[in-house]
Homo-oligomer: A and B are copies of this chain.
Amino acid sequence: MQRTLLRELNRQLGKRVKIQGWVNTVRDQGAIKFLLLRDVTGMVQVIITREFSQAFSAAQDLTLESVVEVLGRVKEEKQAPGGFEVLAEELQVLSSAAGKVPIPVVEKGTEEASREKRLNWRWLDLRKPEKRLIFQVWTVMEHSFREYFINQGYIEIHSPKLMSAASESGSELFEVDYFDRKAYLAQSPQFYKQMAMAAGFEKVFEVGPVFRANPSFTSRHDTEFTMYDFELSFIDSHEDVMREAEALIAQMLKTVKERFGEEIKRVYGRELIVPEIPFPRLTMREAKRILRGLAVPSDREGDLSPEEERALSRFIQEEKGHEFLFLTDWPAEVRPFYHMRLETDPTLTKGFDLLWNGLEIITGSQREHRYETLAKQAEGEGIDLQSIDKYLEFFKYGCPPHGGCAPGPTRMLMKIFNIENVREVTYIYRGVKRLTP
């Protein structure tokens, strides 16, 4: 007998079905037991009476969160959630939960265990439908990300995570014992995306893990996370990258909203907005002037504090009614050496950040593709050319003008769900003190 998913039971009224899932709740009234059964598509009330003695006896010591299979008839019942229930004829325990579950698998809104305890028992925490929803949304969002690029003729790459030297900067590197020498975990696919430009792939994207030995304990830092990356050749300036980024994000949010908009609103109270294109843009000089006008305290000369990011997003929301804001013309001193400088003012770069409701979700730029200029900029930042000689070689034998950026999916999910902590939108979080489960 085929399994019927709980979502599809309403089409089986009066019929005999096989259903499978977790025991969400049990209400025992002696001669009759009410189970709430949960599968990946929904929940249903299951009635167990003495009339079906096998089922009744198998359900005798049923523990919460055990996995069961029920054969029974779907029957209309006005009182039951959804307007119908399943009258169990046979019940088989596929996997019995050994006693009390360490953290309650409760409905959203009910009291939860502490975050640390929930992370210890992450697979129990993820049984809650509203937590699983985050990863269903991620799946659809990422598919939309890929479809955007594949439709534009991009090639997908899987770049190595084991490197012989730093990919971004020497700090926050994880060191690996690699046979008789040391390797390092990639902090980003930056160099290998650029290598693909030197290889004539012209447009590439990548989805993969990145590793940062960052000792921070904040709500938005982790030591391993998934990154989206793209890079494209023959651009005129970073504007081409920004146009690609805003079209991408609008498409991703449109797809997520169509598929999950109502559920996100119902469960998380967040009304998703598909942003209008083009997104607003401010230069860093303009942004800093606005912040001074708003009297936002600043401790960073050319950069922005989290507080300043939030103030700018509030400002653009009020002024333009937009959730997104591109910041351009970043000072060279706060950007990596490979960001191209402005022709009109070489103290500024063709780099940009994208803020979404107060959180930076993308950093990008046009890259410097001219060997001599690139080497000069690296030296200017005190980088030993010997240490980046393999990277510099990419630009020696013909490399087109190019640029790219890296949207962070977990940061996007934080904004989609209005969730403040990256731990909640990561399948299994990794931090300084957390390597399990």
Least CB distance, A4 to chain B, in whole angstroms: 11
Residues in B whose Cβ lies below 8 Å from that of A138: 156
Q: For the complex, what is the distance from the CA of A395 to the CA of B153, rounded to whole Å?
A: 44
Q: Does the CB pair A176–B175 fall under 8 Å?
A: yes
Contact residue among B122, B153, B162 (Cβ-Cβ distance under 8 Å from A211) = B162
Least CB distance, A419 to chain B, in whole angstroms: 17
Q: For the complex, what is the distance from the CA of A226 to the CA of B161, rounded to whole Å?
A: 11
Residues in B whose Cβ lies below 8 Å from that of A136: 155
Residues in B whose Cβ lies below 8 Å from that of A290: none
Q: Does the CB pair B101–A397 fall under 8 Å?
A: yes
Q: Does the CB pair A176–B176 fall under 8 Å?
A: yes
Least CB distance, A350 to chain B, in whole angstroms: 16
Q: State whether the Cβ of A267 lies closer than 8 Å to any Cβ in chain B.
A: no
Q: Which of A201-229 contact B (CB under 8 A)?
A: 201-203, 207-209, 211, 213, 215, 223-224, 226
Contact residue among B158, B199, B393, B401 (Cβ-Cβ distance under 8 Å from A209) = B158
Residues in B whose Cβ lies below 8 Å from that of A435: 162-164, 178, 181, 183
Q: State whether the Cβ of A159 lies closer than 8 Å to any Cβ in chain B.
A: yes
Residues in B whose Cβ lies below 8 Å from that of A102: 397
Say which size band chain A's interface belongs to. Answer: 35 or more
13 A/B residue pairs, CB under 8 Å, sorted by A: A95-B370, A98-B371, A126-B199, A126-B201, A127-B200, A139-B154, A159-B427, A159-B428, A162-B174, A162-B224, A174-B177, A179-B432, A394-B437
Q: Which of A138-167 contact B (CB under 8 A)?
A: 138-140, 142-143, 146-147, 150, 153-164
Residues in B whose Cβ lies below 8 Å from that of A154: 139
Scan A77-110; emit 1 where CB is below 8 A from any B CB, else 0.
0000000000000000011111001100000000
A20, A369, A400, most chain B CB atoms within 10 A: A400
Q: Which of A386-425 contact B (CB under 8 A)?
A: 390, 393-401
Residues in B whose Cβ lies below 8 Å from that of A200: 21-22, 38-40, 126-127, 132
Residues in B whose Cβ lies below 8 Å from that of A397: 65, 97-98, 101-102, 124
CB-CB nearest 6 A-B residue pairs: A126-B199, A164-B435, A123-B199, A40-B202, A139-B156, A65-B398
Which residue in chain B gives the minimum CB-CB distance to A184? B435
Q: Does the CB pair B95–A202 fall under 8 Å?
A: no
Scan A360-386; emit 1 where CB is below 8 A from any B CB, else 0.
000000000111000000000000000
Q: Does the CB pair B94–A158 fall under 8 Å?
A: no
Q: For the complex, what is the distance from the CA of A67 to the CA of B122, rounded to whole Å?
A: 51
Residues in B whose Cβ lies below 8 Å from that of A153: 40
Residues in B whose Cβ lies below 8 Å from that of A371: 98
Q: For the complex, what is the distance from the CA of A164 to the CA of B183, rounded to whole Å?
A: 19
Q: State whether the Cβ of A50 lies closer than 8 Å to any Cβ in chain B.
A: no
Q: Does the CB pair A398–B178 fall under 8 Å?
A: no
Q: Does the CB pair B398–A160 fall under 8 Å?
A: no
Q: Does the CB pair A155–B176 fall under 8 Å?
A: no
Q: State whether the Cβ of A34 lies closer than 8 Å to any Cβ in chain B.
A: no
Q: Does the CB pair B234–A3 fall under 8 Å?
A: yes
Least CB distance, A155 to chain B, in whole angstroms: 5
Q: Does the CB pair B174–A176 fall under 8 Å?
A: yes
Least CB distance, A408 to chain B, in whole angstroms: 12
Q: For the complex, what is the distance from the CA of A309 to the CA of B182, rounded to whole Å?
A: 36
Q: Does the CB pair B202–A98 fall under 8 Å?
A: no
Q: Does the CB pair A398–B96 fall under 8 Å?
A: yes
Q: State whether the Cβ of A135 lies closer than 8 Å to any Cβ in chain B.
A: yes
Which residue in chain B gives the minimum CB-CB distance to A433? B179
Q: For the complex, what is the distance from the CA of A397 to the CA of B67, rounded to whole Å?
A: 9
Least CB distance, A44 to chain B, in whole angstroms: 15
Contact residue among B39, B146, B157, B211 (Cβ-Cβ distance under 8 Å from A427) = B157
Q: Does the CB pair B127–A436 fall under 8 Å?
A: no
Residues in B whose Cβ lies below 8 Å from that of A348: none
Contact residue among B95, B179, B208, B436 (Cβ-Cβ distance under 8 Å from A213) = B179
